[in-house]
Amino acid sequence: MSRDLILQGISKTYANGVTAVQGIDLTLRAGEFVCLVGESGCGKSTLLRMIGGLEPATQGSITSDGQAVTGPGLDRGMVFQDHRLFPWLTVEENIAFGCGESLSPTDKQRSVEEHLELIGLQSFRKAYPHQLSGGMKQRTSLARALAAKPQVLLMDEPFGALDALTRIHLQQELLKLWQKEKITVLLVTHDIDEAVFLADRIAVMTPRLGTFRQVLDVPLARPRNRNEEGFIGLRKTLYDQFF
Amino acid sequence: MEPRVKFKNFSRALRALLLPFLLISLWQWLSYLGLLRPTLLPSPLTITQTGWDLLKTGELEKHLVISLIRVFQGFLIGAGLGLILGLALGLSEKLRQATQLLTEFLRPIPTIAWVPILILWMGIDEGSKITVIAIGSFWPVFLNTIQGVRQTDPHYLEVARVLEKPRWVLLTRVVLPSALPSIFTGFRIGMGIAWASVVGAELIAASSGIGFMILYAREVSQPDVVLVGVAAIGLTGLAIDTLLQKLESALLKWNSHVP
Ligand SMILES: Nc1ncnc2c1ncn2[C@@H]1O[C@H](COP(=O)(O)OP(=O)(O)OP(=O)(O)O)[C@@H](O)[C@H]1O
Ligand SMILES: [Mg+2]
């Protein structure tokens, strides 16, 4: 059984007749980090939501962990741009919400502890979301998704609403988490720099057509340096696709 | 507390008390000039004196406590039913459709209009009085609960879906907390109506309670006692609402900062 995530001929036409995604083929190998870049409205969120099982595909099939995707599943976690933390739960309660229902209270507590440590927010465990900075909220949201132990993490512009410095910090932290947890990540972003910094491969979407223009390998070793020649060259290649 | 905050609270209290103080002073002054007939509108001083006497004999407290017990019993039933039915209808579109005509027909009926029919059904005992209060407090809780449940942000529901949460977790950890501010508004309005309808309920041949005290005093022409009763209803209502407000901000700490 393959632990890869396989998309075959995925298309989506909404009830209002808008075709957001058309004939997408992509295989995410287990443990791979793939970024999805493209202009606003090209269908990135739609594609991600279909993989997450929140939106049915009009055509094609999605296979995760050897199983056909027909709805949401704990094998696929999601992180949204608007952190979506529950304002009535504290940081640790929000993270505990991510834990599986079958966990015993002690196992749950242990998992919360572990994930609090992972995002470095132990001293904010009792804080409510409104008492956190934007970066802390997004970290907590990430921890909640990870607490469910997904194999694939789907992230829709998770750092889009953050300032540039916080974003760079969180990118580095995300890479560490990804290496530690050995999960597959599919991350949607507008930020070409972010994609080159994070990804093993970058899928570039065409505006309005809902298709891939290109899927690019990123042959740079980690940790990556944003000012190094290879990085700059790749960034330029990507920019040229848009402008 | 910081001195500046203290001062702010102080000046706010001063501003709130200014208008009542001026009105009462004017009233007292007009009474003093003999412009108000004491048999129709006794002076504030007379009313205060009567109120004090009634307190000393324990008469006022006795009636108040009896009314309060009725209000709490009625509220418990009315708000409880409102909450349960509101949750059920808020969650189920089908149930809402099935009950829509009935609720829209029943809702505009004033609480007081139920009094004669309740006497017919239940006699003039405690039952009918408590039922009137229950009906009065049912509607705001019921309607606000439905609205609160329906207004749950679909983004939060999506989070629960992605995490494959069972229905009861969805209900207790997502829907209910998110509806709680709205439900609390229902509680406060419902309690206000319950307390306001106590006089109506005690119209049903009561022999005790603050409503009875007022009605009886009117029959024996004691306008000062009538007004003491009216003031007691107002002040108690204010006290209950303040308590509920305190309870709300203690329970919903997270809500004070949510936009
Ligand atoms: N629920 C929906 N119903 C109808 N059309 C939709 C719906 N959601 C998205 N669309 C349309 O599908 C297209 C793709 O939208 P999508 O949200 O996937 O784009 P995106 O690439 O995520 O954009 P952005 O970068 O701005 O988030 C758009 O034309 C949008 O108007
Ligand atoms: Mg999007």
Q: What ipTM score was computed for the predicted complex, to two decimals?
A: 0.92
Counting residues of chain A whose pLDDT is more than 90, the rounded percentage is 90
Kindly provide the b/e burial profile for residues B137-152, where b requires at least 16 CB atoms within 10 angstroms of the residue's own CB.
bbbbbbbbbbbbbeeb
pLDDT at B123: 83
Rounded to the nearest whole angstrom, what is the distance from the C-alpha of residue A8 to the centroid of ligand 1? Answer: 20
In this structure, the answer to whether residues B172 and B63 fall within a common structural domain is: yes
Contacts of residue A168, defined as CB under 8 A and 6 or more positions apart, other chains included, come to none
Taking the Cβ of residue A17 and every Cβ of chain B, the question of whether any pair is shorter than 8 Å is answered with no
Successive 10-residue mean pLDDT values, chain B, 259 residues: 76 90 94 89 93 94 95 96 96 94 92 86 87 95 97 96 95 95 96 89 84 92 94 94 92 74
Token readout for A7 is 């998309």
Top CATH class of A1-75+151-243 equals alpha beta
By mean pLDDT, which of A38-42, A91-95, B69-73 is the weakest? A38-42
Same domain, B27 and B110: no
Give residue B258's pLDDT. Answer: 56
- A88 to B254: CB separation less than 8 angstroms, yes or no: yes
B63 and B100 fall within a common domain: yes
Pick from A51, A25, A21: nearest CA to A154? A51
pTM of model > 0.90: no
Which tens digits make up the pLDDT trace of A177-233? 999 999 999 999 999 999 999 999 999 999 888 888 889 999 999 999 999 999 999
In this structure, are B7 and B56 located in the same domain?
Answer: no
* Same domain? B116 vs B31: no
Indicate if the pLDDT at residue A143 is higher than 90. Answer: yes
Task: Note whether B13 and B99 are same-domain residues.
Answer: no
C-alpha span between B132 and B197 (Å, rounded) = 8
| Extents of the domains making up chain A | 1-75+151-243, 85-149
Same domain, B157 and B208: yes
Claim to verify: residue B230 and residue B114 sit in the same structural domain:
yes
Count the domains in chain B: 2
Q: Angle formed by the axes of helices B223-251 and B59-91, to 10°?
A: 40
In a domain, B259, yes or no: no
Give the domain range for residue B204: 43-251
The answer on B197 and B87 residing in a single domain is: yes
- Identify the CA nearest to A97 among candidates A158, A159, A157, A143: A143
Q: Is residue B256 part of a domain?
A: no
Q: Same domain, yes or no, for B107 and B192?
A: yes
Cβ of B254 and A130 within 8 Å? Answer: yes
Residue A72: closest C-alpha in chain B: B162
Residue holding tokens 């921890």?
A: A143
Report DSSP state, residue B52.
H
For A70, the token pair is 């027909």
